[in-house]
Amino acid sequence: MLLTEDLEEQLRDFTAVSGEQRMPSLSEQLQEVRSRAEVCLYSGGRVVEVRAGVMAMANLPLPPCSKYRHIAAETMVIENSFGSNRKETLASLQRLSTALNILEKYGCNLTNPNRPKYWRTVKHNNPVFRATVDAIQ
């Protein structure tokens, strides 16, 4: 069962102390999804399950400061959305998106128990890393 299906089932079964069914708050949903994704990650779960948990967290309608513990997501977006017109601003946000996608791929490869031998570390002098990830603020 995928992480998101399991979470949906658990949310349906969530009951309050009074015995009445109620939907958990967004914060409770976030904590549950985060906990499951962390367990999956630490127990060597499949990449697709970890990614499903991350996507479930990202799709919750909460501000970035609530979702991200270790990065200042709002600040990152603000500092990397520059330009003198809409086209330039969208291009700068696209560069941020590309950098974050690369970091996600690095994270998936580095945490994969069956990773290739060359995925033991991130080489910061790698031209792709320098041009994309180092370029963001």
User: pLDDT 10s per residue in the chain (137 long)?
Assistant: 455 555 555 555 554 444 556 788 998 999 998 888 888 877 877 777 877 888 888 888 888 788 887 888 888 888 988 889 999 999 999 999 898 888 877 877 777 777 777 777 777 888 888 888 888 87
The 3-state DSSP class for residue 85 equals coil
Look-up of token digits 């060597």: 44
CA-CA-CA-CA dihedral for 58, 101, 80, 30, to nearest 10: 10
- Cα separation of 52 and 82, whole Å? 31
- Which neighbouring-strand residues pair with 21? 15
Look-up of token digits 């500092």: 79
For residues 137 and 80, the answer to whether their CB atoms sit within 8 Å is yes
Which pTM value belongs to this model?
A: 0.63
